[in-house]
Amino acid sequence: MTTITEKTCPGCKTCKPADQFNANKSRTDGLQRFCRACQKDLKADWQARNLDKTRQYDRDRKAPGKKATALYTAAPNPARASPLSGEGGEGEETTNVVETETAPPAAQQPAAAAAKDNPPAFGGEQEDNERLTAQPATPTVAKTTNTTGFADLPHAAIVRSKTNPRTHFDAEFIASLASSIRTKGVLQAILVRPLPGSRLQETLEDLLPGQPRPTHEVVAGEQRWRAAGIAGLRTIPAMIRELTDDQVLEIQLVENLKRRDLHPMEEAEGFERLRETAGLSAEDIADRIDKGRSYVYKTMNLLKLVPDARKAFYERKLTRSTAELVAMRPAGLQLQVLKDIAATDFHGEPMSYRKAKDHIDSNYMLKLGSAVFKITDESLVPAAGSCRTCPKRAGANPQLFDDVAHADTCTDPTCFNVKKQAHYDRIKAEAEERGQTVITGKEAKEIMPSSNTLRGYTKVDDHQALGGKMRTLRKVLGDNMPMPTLIEDPTTHEMVAVLPTAAVSKLLKDNQITDAGVHKEADVDAIVAKRKLTEAYELAWRTKAIRAVSEAGDADVALGTNPMREIALLLFAGLRGTSQALIGELANVGKVGVREGVEQHLKTVPADALVQWLYVLMMAHDLHQFDEHAVRISVGAANFGIDTKALAASVKSEMKAEASAKRVDEAAKTITAERKPAPARKPKVGKEEAAALIAKQLQAIDNPNRFEADQRVRLKSDVHKDGNTFNTRGVSATVVQAAGDRAWEVSPDNLNFPITVDYTEMEAL
């Protein structure tokens, strides 16, 4: 088939590209005769010449019991009316019967004369204007007797409504419906109204040769009307009602919106038309369709979807729920969110609603309560204003964000980051005004390669073990702290307050009695005992939580199998000591060759159990982090419905009961000892035996390098490795294994990797 790229318009006598002509499948070239500009002029000219007739037609059509005056004169030929029974079966009513008949040639003479008297303004051949200036010698016209009731109308005399909310039709469903109609016919009449005068010119332009002029417009039942045409029906049962444009719109929207097979985007467009044309509020629409207000608000919010997101929605790459999540994001972020949640997993399925919501909450929903800037500061970014009054705050649209727990949640990460950067810029400017040292750019990156690494400096606002407690340098030093230096974090661009590590050591030494709160030697034993009890309690309930997750049901898998196995192996590689032993116990690999056994287990474990193991391994990293809240354990347990507070309470009760039983046992031993006779004195040892015993005890005292695996120790100084300084002074650690005659490999509580230290740099707890 030859593709037409350009065509000459007979109106303006100009050769124009094909895209400037409307489509017309009835013509051989598939295009209208006239270009769009000429069609517009023709329509305006026709309306001007027939304005009085159009108005009279509308008046006659609306007048009760009066036949409408035809716009095109036809020879008188009385229509044959047929009485049809009403639906109730009682009595009969005269109905509107429409027939097609051939008008005599004389019927067209007035119209032809009118065309001759009013030639087109732009000129042209008669054959090019025959549809506007003269009709065929024997046109087919549709005649009606009444304007309301039931009738079998010619299918070709009915046109679709331009206000139908349904704009997408399922071809398979229409074909199936057509097959049913061929067998059983149309079982339910469609609803139509007489064609309004405003559509006469439009429908006339699209008229096919030999086709009757349209007389009615579909109000409801367009799918049946389309299927009847495919089935080859010449007539279709219809109920005819006189309806205004507003009445038609309300019937189409309210009735069609109650149908379940309407696409949510079409439903949203219908709600918007009701709001704009009928003046209905969201509450009114909810009452009309028997839905909740939140349903209406979320549906109308779908209109905010960008074109690519709408296309994905129609292509079923998004569900209604996930499409609502995308629509809640700003237009600039929707494509990124769409890319994230529309990607398929290894099963070929898109992200589920729960996973999509978790992903969006983690990456696109920011808690204003944790913002580094003052959220009510309107001067920070004047264009954005205060976060309290921002429409992008979850609390400002409770109907849309009814599933968000915190009202103070920002849904626009871009704006949030702009405010955060403005806050850091303000801090930098104020610091420079005070004469405070500010390090940025390349120099800052050399000192701070990452957010967790500082070379030669110590953060003053980070919690660390000082004086037996987790405190910040700022709090410990108080007024004795010199003005800190500000270093720009190369990743987050946050201005971090630091002090030189060498200066920190001297400051702590000078102030450890008055400000650092170093305990007296007499209190050390009590502190150590209390810490051991606390660590035993934390270790017990955390172990229980990990075991509970290991025994829980399967998790919802969302990642590919191979990446999941690699992640599991990486998580296990970071475990040491009792944490590694616990994983070996849960994997049932025995006590010999634990590392190799667990690695083999993770490589062969079924795919549906991998997510569960990922949670267990992640939680195991918090097993000995006693100076921090066990966030990973709490989150992991919550995902499996395990109450960590209840576990902790049960451990506490068990420890209390065990402590009480221990006191009873000690009291019983004391009473028994009082009742027993004093044991006989040991015989005196000889001089040689006594000398050997004393030498053995002195050797044990003189050997400070008497550590063993899994022993808890405290590091005495910061560790320097590969040019980096790690803040390990006063930090507790677990001994992993010996690394030579003097060195030991230890796992500090504040680091995720082991380090090697000399035995003189640590002390037993």
* Alpha-helix runs per DSSP H in 641-754: 644-675, 687-702
Contact 510, 531 (CB under 8 A): no
Dist. CA 156–CA 212, nearest whole Å: 7
Dist. CA 548–CA 647, nearest whole Å: 10
Mean predicted lDDT score pLDDT of the chain: 73
Buried b (16+ CB within 10 A) or exposed e, 189-204: bbbbbbbbbeebbeeb
Residue 106 reports pLDDT greater than 60: no
pLDDT value at position 252?
76
Dist. CA 84–CA 360, nearest whole Å: 61
Token pair in block for residue 385: 């204003």
For residue 450, what are the β-bridge partners?
453
pLDDT value at position 237?
92
CATH class, domain 695-764, is mainly beta
Dist. CA 275–CA 307, nearest whole Å: 22
pLDDT value at position 667?
55
pLDDT value at position 71?
45
Contact 365, 325 (CB under 8 A): no
pLDDT value at position 528?
65
Under the banding of pLDDT at 50, 70 and 90, the label for residue 228 is very high
pLDDT value at position 509?
75
- Higher model confidence: residue 598 or residue 80? 598
Catalytic residue numbers?
222
CA 143: distance to chain centroid?
A: 56
Q: What share of the chain is helix, strand, coil (3-state, %, to 5)?
A: 45, 15, 40
Contact 155, 190 (CB under 8 A): no
Q: Comparing C-alpha atoms, which of 322, 328, 366 is closest to residue 341?
A: 322
Rg (CA), the chain: 43
Mean pLDDT within 510-515: 51
Token pair in block for residue 125: 């051949």
Under the banding of pLDDT at 50, 70 and 90, the label for residue 757 is confident
Q: Comparing C-alpha atoms, which of 363, 214, 91 is closest to residue 355?
A: 363
The residue written with tokens 């921090």 in the block is 628
pLDDT value at position 682?
47
Angle, helices 171-184 vs 222-231, to 10°: value is: 70
**Secondary structure of residue 486 in the 3-state scheme:** strand
Percent with pLDDT over 90 in the chain: 1
Dist. CA 727–CA 750, nearest whole Å: 9
pLDDT value at position 109?
37
The residue written with tokens 């009054």 in the block is 389
Residue 214 reports pLDDT greater than 50: yes
Q: Which of 202-206, 352-356, 601-605 has the lowest mean pLDDT?
A: 202-206
| DSSP tally for the chain: helices H, then strands E | 28, 26
- The two beta strands, 235-240 and 190-194, are parallel
Token pair in block for residue 32: 């209208």
Side-chain-facing half-sphere of 656: CA atoms under 13 Å: 6
pLDDT value at position 195?
85
Token pair in block for residue 16: 């124009």
In angstroms, the first-to-last Cα distance of the chain is 89
Dist. CA 196–CA 63, nearest whole Å: 14
Dist. CA 709–CA 596, nearest whole Å: 19
pLDDT value at position 690?
54
SS3 for 709-726, per residue?
CCCEEEECCCEEECCEEE
Q: In Å, what is the CA distance from 133 to each residue of 111, 112, 113, 140?
A: 7, 6, 9, 17
In the chain, the amino acid numbered 295 is: Y
Q: Comparing C-alpha atoms, which of 111, 151, 118 is closest to residue 134?
A: 111
Q: Which of 211-215, 242-246, 365-369 has the lowest mean pLDDT?
A: 365-369
Q: Which of 47-61, 505-519, 622-636 has the lowest mean pLDDT?
A: 505-519
- Higher model confidence: residue 221 or residue 680? 221
Dist. CA 52–CA 71, nearest whole Å: 10
For residue 31, what are the β-bridge partners?
23
pLDDT value at position 345?
67
Q: Which of 112-121, 714-723, 753-762 has the lowest mean pLDDT?
A: 112-121
Angle of CA points 367, 373, 374, to nearest 5° = 90
Greatest mean pLDDT among 59-68, 78-87, 178-187, 516-525 = 178-187
Angle of CA points 393, 398, 403, to nearest 5° = 95
**Secondary structure of residue 124 in the 3-state scheme:** coil
Residue 358 reports pLDDT greater than 50: yes
pLDDT value at position 168?
74
| Annotated domain spans of the chain | 365-435, 436-518, 522-651, 695-764
pLDDT value at position 679?
47
Tens-place pLDDT, residues 109-157: 333 333 333 333 333 333 333 333 333 333 344 444 446 788 888 888 8
Tens-place pLDDT, residues 304-336: 898 888 888 888 888 888 888 888 888 877 888
**Secondary structure of residue 194 in the 3-state scheme:** strand
Angle of CA points 721, 723, 729, to nearest 5° = 50
Mean pLDDT within 712-725: 78
Beta strands in 440-502 (DSSP E): 457-459, 464-466, 469-471, 485-488, 495-500
Mean pLDDT within 470-482: 82
Under the banding of pLDDT at 50, 70 and 90, the label for residue 672 is very low
Under the banding of pLDDT at 50, 70 and 90, the label for residue 248 is confident
Dist. CA 38–CA 13, nearest whole Å: 10
φ/ψ of residue 511, rounded to 5: -115, 10
For residue 466, what are the β-bridge partners?
469
φ/ψ of residue 485, rounded to 5: -90, 145
Question: Of all helices (H) and strands (E), which one includes residue 190?
Answer: strand 190-194
Residue 238 reports pLDDT greater than 50: yes
Token pair in block for residue 105: 């040639």
Token pair in block for residue 525: 């034993």
Tens-place pLDDT, residues 427-447: 888 887 877 888 877 888 888
Neighbours of 645 (CB within 10 A): 10
Residue 520 reports pLDDT greater than 50: no
Neighbours of 380 (CB within 10 A): 20
Buried b (16+ CB within 10 A) or exposed e, 501-516: beebeebbeebeeebb
Dist. CA 638–CA 591, nearest whole Å: 30
Dist. CA 198–CA 280, nearest whole Å: 25
Neighbours of 206 (CB within 10 A): 13
pLDDT value at position 704?
60
Under the banding of pLDDT at 50, 70 and 90, the label for residue 55 is confident
**Secondary structure of residue 565 in the 3-state scheme:** helix
**Secondary structure of residue 41 in the 3-state scheme:** helix
Residue 8 reports pLDDT greater than 80: yes
